[in-house]
Amino acid sequence: MLKANELVKTFGARTVVENVSFKVQKGEVLGFLGPNGAGKSTTIRMMTGYLAPTSGSASVGGFDVAENPVEAKRLFGYLPENSPLYQEMTVGGFLDFCAHARGMDKYQRKDAVENVLQRCSLESVAKQVVGTLSKGYSRRTCFAQALLHDPQALFLDEPTDGLDPNQKFEMRNLIRSMAKDKSILVSTHLLDEVEDICTRVIIIDQGRIVLDSPIQDVKGKLFEQFRKLTSH
């Protein structure tokens, strides 16, 4: 469903991502780990079409993200790291706007917005202005927009960042509940989160994949593996 094929990204003389290749099948939750600056977010941005690769390719559902961007983007939802939101809109208005951008008519938009408000526990702030939200509610609002069209795949960059322990618990349960029907890539710094919700883990360091393993093979020793492979 999700495929990275020898992705390379350079900025001037600096290579940030170097020959990264992997697939994420339906029913798989891939934990994408690495220290700061390892190339995680850059890889995700190339796979979602936000950044053009220097070389290599990315595809979603068989559609090349660069050559068939509209077809590919219809198939996935994307929660970026920095939760870009329109600060002056209400939560419900923002989600309706996103649904409209997805091509839904007014009846589809109403149903989709009501569904994600409920799934992401946002009903209590539906009429609140985005700019007045806490970081946790902002994060959940951005997550909700990624779910509006019930995508076949999800890219989640630090999905529980800024959430309190109860919200993290709810978010992890939500991701687990969707896992059987979708291909999900989760980028996070939280090793316990990967062990809790992921079926597979990739560790990337200095732009290269240094580990690709089923989670059961590293469960309980992921921290040691991470330190061993990324400490220089």
Q: For residue 163, what pLDDT is reported?
A: 86
**Residue pLDDT, tens place only, 69-124:** 999 999 999 999 877 789 999 999 999 999 999 999 999 999 999 999 999 999 99
Give the residues across from 90 on adjacent strands. Answer: 129
SS3 per-residue string spanning 168-216: HHHHHHHHHHHHHHCEEEEECCCHHHHHHHCCEEEEEECCEEEEEEEHH
- Tokens representing 225 are 């593996």
Give, as one character, the DSSP assignment of residue 89. S
Contact 44, 157 (CB under 8 A): yes
C-alpha–C-alpha distance, residues 144 and 40, integer Å = 22
Task: Report the percent of the chain where pLDDT is more than 70.
Answer: 100
Q: For residue 162, what pLDDT is reported?
A: 80
Contact 219, 195 (CB under 8 A): yes
Identify the band that residue 129 occupies on the pLDDT scale cut at 50, 70 and 90.
very high
Contact 130, 89 (CB under 8 A): yes
Residue 8 makes CB contacts below 8 A (sequence gap 6+) with: 15, 17, 18, 19, 20, 53, 54, 55, 56
- Structural domains of the chain ordered from first start: 1-75+154-232 (3.40.50.300), 82-150 (no CATH)
C-alpha–C-alpha distance, residues 214 and 198, integer Å = 9
- Whole-prediction pTM: 0.93
Residue 2 makes CB contacts below 8 A (sequence gap 6+) with: 23, 24, 47, 58, 59, 60, 76, 153, 183, 185
C-alpha–C-alpha distance, residues 103 and 74, integer Å = 10
